[in-house]
Amino acid sequence: MTKKERFAFVLKYFETHVPNAETELIYDNPYQLLVAVILSAQCTDKRVNLTTPAIFEKYPTVETLSHATFDELFPLIRSISYPNNKTKHLIGMAQKVMEEFNGEIPATVKELITLPGVGRKTANVITSVVHQQPNMAVDTHVFRVSARIGLTTNATTPLQTELQLLKYIPEEQVHIAHHWLILHGRYICVARSPKCGECGLRPACKYYHQLIKEA
């Protein structure tokens, strides 16, 4: 199977079986999504979803968050990973959005990555989820699943994975392909023991074909 055929198989499979993939983070607007994605670094979406309602109740807008103090915000996120840094990042992000972006969450990767706590992955998530821009956010699931299937070859960094995926995925499918790969990694192609027995991608998967060869 050529790389082109492998991509075609995988995209067709997801298109047919998972037509409505979307983020599992709960949010109502770009501000809430940005807060949730910043909090989700090294943390499960489930835990973030348990944490955010109290934050959004106390700080319903980016402006209200920009006035928060560390001591006020910290207790609301102390149960998730890296609460110190994330508290500082959230307040810093809100202040910068107020000062430099007129209170509007930026809509480009270039602007988003200037905000505290926002790296390329987070900026790609925001622009693809909110604006359907063809930006591929590569997290641990996307990185692992793409390598196992053989969508990427010898990629050693998220950026290499991102660029290899973008080469083959049609622009209009990039934003949903991100969710397909994440959900597949979260529930089927899990890190320790991928559930190949129940995976519809077997015909196109390099890892699976290697397993068969070695059996």
Closest CA to 113 of 102, 104, 126: 126
> Is there a contact between 90 and 40 (Cβ–Cβ < 8 Å)?
no
Nearest-angstrom CA–CA distance, 107 and 102: 13
Query: Residue 42 CB, nearest distance to ligand SF4 (Å)?
Result: 23
189 binds ligand SF4 (CB under 6 A): yes
According to DSSP, residue 6 is labeled H
Q: Does 199 contact ligand SF4 by CB under 6 A?
A: yes
SS3 163: helix
Q: Which of 148, 175, 178, 179 binds ligand SF4 (CB under 6 A)?
A: 148
Let me know if 45 is a catalytic residue: no
Which region among 30-38, 46-54, 133-141, 199-207 touches ligand SF4 (by CB under 6 A)? 199-207
42: left (phi over 0), alpha (psi -120 to 50) or beta: left
Binding residues for [4Fe-4S] cluster: 189, 196, 199, 205
208 near ligand SF4 (CB under 6 A): yes
Contact 122, 134 (CB under 8 A): no
- Please measure the distance between the N-terminal and C-terminal CA atoms of the chain and give it in whole angstroms: 21
Does residue 58 carry a catalytic annotation? no
Stretch that binds ligand SF4, among 60-68, 90-98, 129-137, 187-195 (CB under 6 A): 187-195
Q: Does 168 bind ligand SF4 (CB under 6 A)?
A: no
Interface positions with ligand SF4 (CB under 6 A): 148-149, 188-189, 194-196, 199, 201-202, 205, 207-208
Q: Which residues are catalytic?
A: 121, 139
